[in-house]
Chain A
Amino acid sequence: MNPLFVMFMTEARDLLEEISKGLLDLETKPGDIPTMNGIFRALHTLKGSSGLFEPDLDSVRRVAHAGEDLLDAVRNGRLAFTSEMADPLLDSLDAVGHWLEEMNDHGAVSAEADADSHAMAAILRNFLHQKATDNATQESDAKVAPKAYLPAPSWLTRLPERLQTLIQTRGEETLDTLVAVYYTPDPQCFFTGDDPFYLIRQIPQLVAFHVETSTPWPPADQLDPFVCAVRFLVVTETPREEIAKLFRYVEEQTEITLFNPVAPAMHPEPVAKPVTAKPVAGEEAMVLRIVQAQQEILTLPCPPAEWEYRLLPMEQLLRALFTRRNLPQLLEALHPVMAEVRATLSFAPLRTLLASLIQDFSGSEASPSPVVAPSPGAKGVAGSRERESDADSPAEAAVYKRRAEDTSQKDKTLRIDQNRIDQLLDLVGELVVAKNSVPFLAQRADRHYGVKPLAREILEFFGVINRLTDELQSSIMQVRLMPVSTIFDRFPRLVRDISRKLDKKINLEMEGGTTAADKNIVEMLSDPLIHLVRNSLDHGIELPAVRVAAGKDPHGEIKLIACQQSDRVVIEIHDNGKGIDPEIIKKKAYEKGIITEDQLESLSDHEAIQLIFVAGFSTAEQISDLSGRGVGMDVVRSAVEHVGGSVVVFSTLGEGSRVRLELPMTMAISRVMLIEQSDSLFGVPLSMVAETVRIPRSVVQTIKDREVIVLRGKILPLVRLRERLQLGPEPVDSTQRELAVLVVNPAGEEIGLVVDNFQKGVDIVIKPLEGILSALSVYSGGALLGDGRVLLVLNLKELI
């Protein structure tokens, strides 16, 4: 399962819940602006995020979009919110929820979803239209009354006569609906690389093509060729769905209308051109049209109260039709079908009958007469029309209602506040610490109380607790693990956008997206990675022309690789760009005063390019003259080091660069040694402690004001923790004759840290200090001890 989808699902479920709650609230207090805004935002987010999964979730996006438009109208006061509006909205939400669960369970949305979503969107948008027609009363009748004839958009009359005739003829030939597209490209669209004309050319089966402008062309002197002033008027036989798909990125700039080019016979408008078909074909065509018209009527929304009014005339009409065409078997079939329709409260049986009728007509009699043979495009439209109606019938709607009740049980994901997990982690940490005191208890039982068998039993029991706590600890860690793909998934878009902006051709490859790391670490990675990738794009990969000149593939390559190496997560960003020139880096670093003249000579190439991570190395003005990787690379390093990781860059001049990030997989429990100083407890990471010694005060010598001791023949400088932490002078009554010295090795050199006393080593969860304390660099973090005390862990690098 795509992890991005998993995230989307949890979000979408919340959004759906939020929307339904908001809609219910809105019913009780219509006009509540914050609620309305909340619903609108949630729908908007849902629409946006479902767009990530197109075409799979096109249905969701479509319905959300329609809902959003409707709510927008309500929000702007163009439309009043009514309960009639809430019902279809809630139904659509149920359907959306259902599709999402389908997608979640089966990886695909059922085939009907597409048509259903069209129908639902139509119902929702109908409210908008109703409003429009209420204002313009002359049309309202046509809208409310069931209509089979889909009028052509008004702009069609603006087409040159030659094209209008063409459409008319085409319509008579196919006897089916055509699709009209009015496309108003964004005036600035050329700057985003769009070619609207090219898009128009992608429409298959074009019937008519025309171009118009909103204002007359200016004189040549004032014409700005880079502002798109044209609009496209197109009529095609391609099914609406396909057109909508083609124009899905400019949806709001296109108006797609399904229309009947030929007015039906009963319509007062006469057919403009004399019918060219043979008389017999003419009647068949009319029958077909009538049957299709019934199909259309069935697709229109119908309140249950009006059912009978719709059914009755249809029944009579069909009966008359079958008698006239001498089709007794159909006449017989009609009655049970009508009975079934009334019994089940679903138009479905009638639709099936009509569909088979249409097929009979066009199938059996098509060959002699081209008039009734539907074009492939027309067939698609008719087919989808038929399906579109499914959701309209009460029976179907009921299905969605039921599903809405089921969905809550299906959700196996639990959304938990991160704080709770952190709290659990803290508790586990404390449990680990507490567990570690059990062996001491066993020791006491043995030595102090002299009960050896009990001591042994305690130790055995300790083994069990030990195992369980370890498992518990790793389970909690697992909960916090997140695949790095959650951030990788943003890159295709990022790379696409940037490369377009820079006019570079880039292939992005990503590997190891499933590699998991602690949530904090993955989240922290996001910004540095974006930075690194952007740098590679901007300064690493050359322009296609430059690449070709250098004998390279014009397409640059950027590779993101993640993998796990023992308990570390390694992420590498490769590019096959121009690489980093160590000489230029050295020169710049010297000019900036980052390295000395000696270093200029002695630094190896590898060492030199690491200088890009040094704070103060990069400033904006440098981007242009050196290979550029620079802006804020020190920020990348400090972010990575903050979570205990490291970053290093490799590069071959002319062949490319590779940045390698190494990070801990988890903010795991670490082992520290407890030390006492001035009645306080401090922790020192055990990994830094080389040994602990107790030495008599008398052996301390002084060399040039520094205290040193000689330990096994080597001079060991001493540092007193009391002085470093400014904990005041040593008490005068200090009776200790021995000094406790911690031999530590923080920076490649052994140093003796003088403390009051050592204690045991413990396992703790180190947490970074927050607030005012975070400025104290001598502490790397704090932790809670088993007994509730706070332990500060020393950052020896800073301290010494």
Chain B
Amino acid sequence: MPVTYTDQEAILTATVAIEEAETLLAWLKEHGQGSVNVQGCQHLHTAVLQVLLALRPPLGEPPTDPFLKEHVWPLLQSDGEMAG
């Protein structure tokens, strides 16, 4: 199970496939204050990435995956950096 949901947190691990996009979106909508833990995530499908970029949930620790940490993490952190 690449995504584990608790009351406050959605924990993304390993490779998060497209199937999770809808569930994650629903969970985030339901848990307005819920945060997403991407620390153990190795790769996330574009659809899942989209959800994170669109909803901007609070995130915990940076991911350990070097690519995600170097290139994606700053993007998820910064607000308004997205070009329109």
Contacts and interface: CB of A to CB of B under 8 A. Distances in A.
Interface of A: 158-160, 162, 185, 190, 195-198, 201, 206, 209-213, 215-218, 220-221, 223, 225-226, 228-230
B21 interface: yes
Given A228-B46, A230-B53, A223 B84 contact: no
Given A209-B72, A212-B84, A223 B44 contact: no
A213 B53 CA distance: 10
A198 B47 CA distance: 11
A574 B58 CA distance: 54
Nearest to A226: B47
10 contacts: A190-B45, A190-B46, A210-B83, A211-B75, A217-B82, A218-B54, A220-B54, A223-B50, A223-B55, A226-B21
Interface string B10-48: 000000001001101100110000000000000111111
The binding surface of chain B is classed by DSSP as: helix
A160 B81 contact: yes
A156 B27 CA distance: 35
B71 A158 contact: no
B74 to A, nearest CB: 7
Contacts of B50: 223, 225, 228-230
Interface of B: 18, 21-22, 24-25, 28-29, 43-51, 53-55, 67, 71-72, 74-75, 78, 81-84
Q: Which of B18, B50, B75, B82 neighbours the largest number of chain A CB atoms within 10 Å of its CB?
A: B50
A198 B48 CA distance: 12
A202 to B, nearest CB: 11
A198 B65 CA distance: 14
Contacts of A196: 46
A223 B25 CA distance: 9
A159 B81 CA distance: 8
Nearest to A228: B46
A431 B76 CA distance: 83
| Among A211, A216, A225: residue with most chain B CB under 10 A | A225
B6 to A, nearest CB: 20
A223 B78 contact: no
Contacts of B67: 201, 206
Contact of A228 (B22, B44, B47): B47
B43 to A, nearest CB: 7
Nearest first, the 7 A-B pairs at minimum CB distance are A209-B71, A225-B21, A217-B54, A197-B46, A212-B83, A158-B83, A225-B47
Nearest to B68: A201
A215 B51 contact: no
A211 B54 contact: no
Nearest to A233: B83
A209 B53 CA distance: 14
Contacts of B84: 212-213, 215-216
A160 B74 CA distance: 10
Given A211-B53, A229-B50, A198 B71 contact: no
Contacts of B71: 206, 209
Given A197-B44, A223-B54, A211 B82 contact: yes
A625 B51 CA distance: 40
A185 B83 contact: no
A743 to B, nearest CB: 71
A220 B55 contact: yes
B78 A185 contact: no
